């Protein structure tokens, strides 16, 4: 019995030391992690809007018109103080769980670009949605997410109609298309209400 208590005490001490160590590691790295996430987001926003010189966080301003699609964060994009577009970090259900997509929409009502932030669909199938090496049109070098650039927010965004679907991943194709369509339409409506500048 004494031996068991001694072993239990030693184990408890090791567990406590491990927890304290993890707390110190977290405290020491959380600012770096937050900085890297912010830098990655700014790089993604700049990729969608190369001409943008300011990205104002307007989260909570634009409401989703589809209950299955949520807007995690929202940004008004400006160039020289003039509103040129909006970017929405949006998420919705897909085959392997939630998919997160950054969608840029210009004041002209067209998608300026799409970046898949995270998707946990089947590797080699649905996960190809975010792959820069998977082409829906190899001849032109067009990726799945790249095909959305330039589409009007009013387009159907329907796989196998005006969207080239990922081979053997129709559910993923539909899920991402719905997220992009909802984001583009709601951003375009908000931009229109702003009169194109603010």
In angstroms, the first-to-last Cα distance of the chain is 75
C-alpha to C-alpha distance for 110 and 104, rounded to whole angstroms: 9
What is the residue-averaged pLDDT of the chain?
91
User: pLDDT tens digits, residue range 82-96?
Assistant: 999 999 999 999 999
Q: Residue 198: which pLDDT band, with cuts at 50, 70 and 90?
A: very low
**What predicted TM-score, i.e. pTM, was given to this entire model?**
0.82
C-alpha to C-alpha distance for 59 and 129, rounded to whole angstroms: 26
Q: Is residue 59 helix, strand or coil? A: coil
Nearest to 166 by CA among 88, 86, 72, 99: 99
Q: Residue 196: which pLDDT band, with cuts at 50, 70 and 90?
A: low
Whether 123 contacts 166, CB under 8 Å: no
- What is the chain's length? 198
Give just the sign of the alpha carbon dihedral 98, 63, 72, 161.
positive
In the chain, pLDDT over 70 holds for what percent of residues? 98
Domain boundaries in the chain? 1-48, 51-193
User: pLDDT tens digits, residue range 153-187?
Assistant: 999 999 999 999 999 999 999 999 999 999 999 99
């Amino acid at each position: 019995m004494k031996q068991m208590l001694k072993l239990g005490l030693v184990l408890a001490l090791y567990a406590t030391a491990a927890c304290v160590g993890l707390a110190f590691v977290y405290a020491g790295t959380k600012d770096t992690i937050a900085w890297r996430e912010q830098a990655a987001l700014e790089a993604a926003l700049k990729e969608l809007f190369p001409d943008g010189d300011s990205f104002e966080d307007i989260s909570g301003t634009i409401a989703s018109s589809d209950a299955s699609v949520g807007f995690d964060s929202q940004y008004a994009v400006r160039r020289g103080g003039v509103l040129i577009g909006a970017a929405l970090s949006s998420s919705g259900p897909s085959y392997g769980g939630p998919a997160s997509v950054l969608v840029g929409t210009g004041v002209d009502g067209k998608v300026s670009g799409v970046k898949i932030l995270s998707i946990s669909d089947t590797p080699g199938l649905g996960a190809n949605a975010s792959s820069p090496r998977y082409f829906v049109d190899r001849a032109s070098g067009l990726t799945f997410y790249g095909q959305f650039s330039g589409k009007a927010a009013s387009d159907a965004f329907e796989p196998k109609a005006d969207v080239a679907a990922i081979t053997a991943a129709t559910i993923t194709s539909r899920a991402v298309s719905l997220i992009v369509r909802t984001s583009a339409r709601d951003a375009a409506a908000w931009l229109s209400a702003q009169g194109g500048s603010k």
